[in-house]
């Protein structure tokens, strides 16, 4: 539980959307927990309890509100805690580690005891790992019931329950009613799924699209943008539109293969939500897909916290005010991004995109919905001489693929160990490893202090002339140095 009164009570009474998803309100007289923006009659102050997470409210015995739907609230980033073990555990749980596996197996992967992990989760989240996993399954299943036409069996499997019986039992235990009774009338499914993902304002969707557009792998990815509105929404000195208006035609699209089945997804913005449309693929991989999209579009970031730290730097404040909703670009396919980082060494962004397209064309798999990037197993067997790049970089890609395919290098590893194993591969230096950590691990504090563009912009804007000076200056930007780097990159583009 969180302390009563103060800022949280003010946010509750104001129904402040900035705090949506950052805490939850348990109402003792009803046994229900709500979002701060819940439109129901305001309960009395003495009857409410504040919780750090939905899982904590659930563990305390409260059930989710059917009116404000806590499962639809913007999420909280896994990086918010100071424990790297909790961060790794949350990522593994989001990947389904506890859907079929045990907490003991999870602890073995993390290298800690079950007692130690339970203590960390209690301190950082107010709930046990099992409750966090159960709440995640319940929330995703409730979202599918409300927003899709999937059958209850499909929803149960998509949400990681493993069986319809477990699914039904959990809903009856939580809501005192069956899952089917919570569904409004919906038409038959056409095989596609469309889900809404909430984020906190401000949100610079156009900057993310532009970042992905110039890096989109031909045949694998496609980005549709309104060129008049890219960047700072200006053509010359003329402002041409509002970022939150008329963006239905702007989207990111890609093909994928998960759990042995191919599919296609598109992500667009509608008001203060993203809309993710998925066609094909395995029903059981739907929650993983949504998790990847959430990381890729950084929807769980809290701009107020990030900007308050960065704005303490007087000069950086100017950049933040120009783009207060700037987000970190993540990765749908971590291995794909790691290869991209190697390819991008000492070549232009356009040149790297061309090479990535050739690799996808030569080694990728063609499916009925589009081409997918080659897997680590495929690139582990390639002849480095066949790649259109210097031999050292080509060998680095092969060695990376071998390490990932053999399980020696995993994107769920401790970040420091992951970084050290990366730079131990011949042909991968600090810049490449930092870029992979920034995008594939979605670490908001990864800072590319050796990046040529960032150093040039830093020298021009910040008056920092050496890499050592830049590293020292960036200490004040922790733990959001990744966002500071994105602001410097954008300043160069602008």
Predicted confidence at residue 84, as pLDDT, reads 85
| In the predicted structure, residue 283 carries a pLDDT above the cut 50 | yes
Query: Could you tell me which residues are beta bridge partners of residue 193?
Result: 278
Distance CA 294, CA 203 (A): 13
Does residue 246 have an active-site annotation?
no
Enter the tokens of residue 152.
């209850």
| In the predicted structure, residue 235 carries a pLDDT above the cut 50 | no
Question: pLDDT band at 111, cuts 50/70/90?
Answer: very high
| In the predicted structure, residue 231 carries a pLDDT above the cut 60 | no
- Of residues 300, 333, 445, 451, which has the active-site annotation? 451
What is the SS3 assignment for 190? coil
Predicted confidence at residue 193, as pLDDT, reads 94
- In the chain, pLDDT over 70 holds for what percent of residues? 93
The CATH number that domain 192-300 falls under is 3.30.310.20
| In the predicted structure, residue 248 carries a pLDDT above the cut 90 | no
- In CATH, which superfamily holds the domain spanning 6-72? DNA Methylphosphotriester Repair Domain (3.40.10.10)
- Of residues 34, 107, 276, 437, which has the active-site annotation? 34
| Residue-averaged pLDDT of the chain | 91
Predicted confidence at residue 43, as pLDDT, reads 95
Predicted confidence at residue 226, as pLDDT, reads 76
| In the predicted structure, residue 243 carries a pLDDT above the cut 80 | no
Report which secondary-structure segment, H or E, holds 195: strand 192-198
What is Dmax (Cα atoms) for the chain? 71
How many of the other CB atoms lie within 10 Å of CB of 262? 20
What is the SS3 assignment for 48? strand
Distance CA 366, CA 220 (A): 9
Enter the tokens of residue 280.
């094909």
Write out pLDDT tens, residues 372-407: 999 999 999 999 999 989 999 999 999 999 999 999
Question: pLDDT band at 352, cuts 50/70/90?
Answer: very high
Q: Tell whether omega for the bond before 391 is within 30 degrees of 0, i.e. cis.
A: no
Please calculate the CA angle 188-189-191 and round it to the nearest 5 degrees: 155
Report the range of poorest mean pLDDT among 161-170, 248-257, 263-272.
248-257
**Where along the chain do its domains lie?**
6-72, 78-182, 192-300, 334-493
The CATH number that domain 78-182 falls under is 1.10.10.60
Average pLDDT in the 87-102 region? 91
Question: pLDDT band at 186, cuts 50/70/90?
Answer: low
Predicted confidence at residue 228, as pLDDT, reads 43
Distance CA 292, CA 168 (A): 27
Half-sphere exposure of 374 (CA within 13 A, CB side): 24
Predicted confidence at residue 184, as pLDDT, reads 78
Predicted confidence at residue 239, as pLDDT, reads 32
Average pLDDT in the 471-488 region? 96
Report the range of poorest mean pLDDT among 41-50, 222-231, 432-441.
222-231
Predicted confidence at residue 494, as pLDDT, reads 76
Write out pLDDT tens, residues 201-222: 999 999 999 999 999 999 999 9
Average pLDDT in the 416-431 region? 95
Query: Could you tell me which residues are beta bridge partners of residue 235?
Result: 238
The fold of the 334-493 domain, in CATH, is: Endonuclease III; domain 1 (1.10.340)
Distance CA 174, CA 63 (A): 6
Predicted confidence at residue 212, as pLDDT, reads 97
Predicted confidence at residue 36, as pLDDT, reads 96
Predicted confidence at residue 175, as pLDDT, reads 95
Predicted confidence at residue 100, as pLDDT, reads 86
Question: pLDDT band at 246, cuts 50/70/90?
Answer: very low
Average pLDDT in the 123-142 region? 95
Report the range of poorest mean pLDDT among 112-121, 221-230, 481-490.
221-230
Going by C-alpha positions, the residue among 352, 354, 372, 350 that lies closest to residue 363 is 372
Predicted confidence at residue 395, as pLDDT, reads 97
Does residue 451 have an active-site annotation?
yes
Average pLDDT in the 270-280 region? 95
Predicted confidence at residue 346, as pLDDT, reads 85
| In the predicted structure, residue 241 carries a pLDDT above the cut 50 | no
**Bigger pLDDT: 402 or 79?**
402
Average pLDDT in the 406-432 region? 94
DSSP annotation string for 134-185: HHHHHHHHHHHHHH----HHHHHHHTT-SSHHHHHHHHHHHHSS-GGGGPPP
Enter the tokens of residue 332.
């749908």
Average pLDDT in the 6-33 region? 94
């Amino acid at each position: 539980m969180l302390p009563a009164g103060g800022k949280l009570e003010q946010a509750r009474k104001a129904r402040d959307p900035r705090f949506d998803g950052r805490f939850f309100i348990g109402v003792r007289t009803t046994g229900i927990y709500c979002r701060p923006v819940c439109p129901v009659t305001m309960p009395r102050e003495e009857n409410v309890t504040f919780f750090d997470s939905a899982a904590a409210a659930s563990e305390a015995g409260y059930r989710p509100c059917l009116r404000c739907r806590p499962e639809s609230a913007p999420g909280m980033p896994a990086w918010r805690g100071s424990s790297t073990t909790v961060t790794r555990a949350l990522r593994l749980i989001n990947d389904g580690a506890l859907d079929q596996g045990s907490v003991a197996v999870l602890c073995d992967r993390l290298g800690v005891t079950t007692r130690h992990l339970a203590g960390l989760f209690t301190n950082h989240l107010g709930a046990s790992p099992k409750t966090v996993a159960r709440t995640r399954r319940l929330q995703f299943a409730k979202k599918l019931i409300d927003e899709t036409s999937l059958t209850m069996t499909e929803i149960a499997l998509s949400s990681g329950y493993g069986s319809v019986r477990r699914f039904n039992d959990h809903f009856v235990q939580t809501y005192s009613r069956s899952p089917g009774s919570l569904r409004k009338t919906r038409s038959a499914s056409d095989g596609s799924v469309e889900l809404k993902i909430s984020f906190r304002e401000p949100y610079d969707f156009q900057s993310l699209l532009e970042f992905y557009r110039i890096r989109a792998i031909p045949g694998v990815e496609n980005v549709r943008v309104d060129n008049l509105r890219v960047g700072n929404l200006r053509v010359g000195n003329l402002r041409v539109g509002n970022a939150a208006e008329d963006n239905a035609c702007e989207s990111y699209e890609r093909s994928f293969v998960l759990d042995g089945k191919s599919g296609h997804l598109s992500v667009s913005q509608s008001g203060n939500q993203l809309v993710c449309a998925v066609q094909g693929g395995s029903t059981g991989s739907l929650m993983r897909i949504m998790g990847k999209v959430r990381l890729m579009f950084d929807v769980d970031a809290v701009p107020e916290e990030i900007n308050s730290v960065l704005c303490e730097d007087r000069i950086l404040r100017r950049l933040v005010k120009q783009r207060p909703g700037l987000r970190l670009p993540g990765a749908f396919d971590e291995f794909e991004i790691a290869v991209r980082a190697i390819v991008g060494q000492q070549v232009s962004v356009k040149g790297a995109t061309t090479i990535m397209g050739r690799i996808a064309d030569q080694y990728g798999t063609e499916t009925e919905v589009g081409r997918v990037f080659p897997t680590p197993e495929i690139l582990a067997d390639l002849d480095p001489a066949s790649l259109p790049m210097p031999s050292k970089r080509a060998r680095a890609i092969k060695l990376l693929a071998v390490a990932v395919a053999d399980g020696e290098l995993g994107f769920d590893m401790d970040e420091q160990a992951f970084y050290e194993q990366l730079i131990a591969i011949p042909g991968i230096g600090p810049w490449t490893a930092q870029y992979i950590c920034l995008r594939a691990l979605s670490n908001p504090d990864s800072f590319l202090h050796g990046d040529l563009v960032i150093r040039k912009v830093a020298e021009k804007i910040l008056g920092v002339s050496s890499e050592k000076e830049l590293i020292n200056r960036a200490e004040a930007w922790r733990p959001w140095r990744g966002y500071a780097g994105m602001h410097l990159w954008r300043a160069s583009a602008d």
